[in-house]
Amino acid sequence: MPYRSRPGRLRQINSGGKAPSVQSTMANIAGWLSSSIKKISYMFGITGASLLVWFMPFFEPLKNDFLHWIYPEKVDITLDCGTCIMSLSQPISIIIHATPDASTPVEKGFLKLDYDRSVFVLSKDTPSGFNTAEIAESRMLNEGRFVLYPKQIPEKEYQSTMSITLKTKYGEHRSNKVIVTILPSEPGYVTPFLDSTGNKQYDLSGEWIIEIDGKQGQMQISQNKKAKITGKFSLGTTERGAEKIVDGFKDGTTFRAWLYRSADKTKAWRVEGPYITKAETPNLIEITSACAWAVVADRSITQNTFVDPIYPCKARNFVGWRNTSYSTFYAVARTQP
């Protein structure tokens, strides 16, 4: 039999066994909340306005959750890398644009780049992801950036994809996928370049003009991942067309190599010197304040002659090599931008 509750309690009405409608349930809940708040106000002498201020911090998150439940968070994320073509010395920069596609802003979140780590490497100056602020309107996500280099250069043109994932409190959003093309090394002329994998170190691979003992020539070298250097050189008009072997390495500041003057490797130039760039000629890299020691194979030499500094040049023996003369060494190459 139907009954009425005491004032302030939820009313239960048996309507012939039918469940109450959503509208009547919401009305009952609203009435109960209103009655409860009035009682609390009366008991503690709190005004409606002050009570609202007190409860506001608790209701705000609930309001946001409720709005996102009614209007699910949506965002269109676009990834742009320009031409999306990279080569041995040319990285790509990623630009990210986001446009909300709902009545509610996109909550702050965390954005990361999804890419094939066997193909690409991030510059050490850029993180793998970054925090984003609320997105209330269409804008660039300039809270962070991504710069990538090819991890290795393929023998032929290769393609791979990358995309963006934005994770917020209310969901995970993915961007379009872009295709990036990695070009192989071009045969022929190569120039030294900076920062092949974001390490801010020069790769000395390329064609150089060299000078030893007043004789000018050319040197073409290649540097591998372990900074070992191999190549060929020719020196002077009498040796034009006769290419000889270069074998050496470079550290953080200095180029060190053997330039073999004979096919049997019993005669050589040992060259050492710092490689530098100058502010007034940023498109050139030089090996200067360097020395070249003419040496011949000699097994009786069992110790290196220690000299510090290397320049000005002085007589110097090397293990297995006897010094016959010495001169200055100079080399210059044009760098890639």
- Domain boundaries, given as residue ranges, for the chain: 22-70, 75-182, 193-334
Q: What confidence score (pLDDT) does residue 200 get?
A: 56
> Within the chain, where are the H helices?
22-44, 48-70
Q: What confidence score (pLDDT) does residue 67 get?
A: 57
| Structure tokens belonging to residue 319 | 């293990």
Tell which residue, 182, 167, 171, has the closest CA to residue 113.
Answer: 167
Task: Describe the chain by its helix, strand, coil percentages, rounded to 5.
Answer: 15, 45, 40
Q: What confidence score (pLDDT) does residue 22 get?
A: 43
Q: What confidence score (pLDDT) does residue 42 get?
A: 54
| Structure tokens belonging to residue 152 | 């290795």
- Which residue positions in the chain have pLDDT lower than 50? 1-19, 22, 45, 49, 51, 53-54, 188-189, 195-198, 238, 240-241
Q: State how beta strands 193-194 and 202-203 pair.
A: antiparallel
| Structure tokens belonging to residue 226 | 């372990």
Q: Rounded to the nearest 5°, which phi and psi values hold at 299?
A: -70, -15
Q: What confidence score (pLDDT) does residue 37 get?
A: 58
Per-residue pLDDT of 94-113, as tens digits, reads 889 999 886 778 888 999 99
**Of the CATH numbers 3.30.450.20, 3.40.1260.10, 2.40.10.120, 2.40.128.30, which one belongs to the domain with range 193-334?**
2.40.128.30
Q: State how beta strands 85-86 and 193-194 pair.
A: unpaired
| Structure tokens belonging to residue 250 | 């470079």
User: The domain 75-182: what is its CATH number?
Assistant: 2.60.40.680
Question: How far apart (Å, rounded) are the C-alpha atoms in residues 6 and 68?
Answer: 36
Q: What confidence score (pLDDT) does residue 235 get?
A: 83
Tell which residue, 197, 180, 139, 171, has the closest CA to residue 69.
Answer: 171
Question: How far apart (Å, rounded) are the C-alpha atoms in residues 71 and 105?
Answer: 10
Q: What confidence score (pLDDT) does residue 203 get?
A: 84
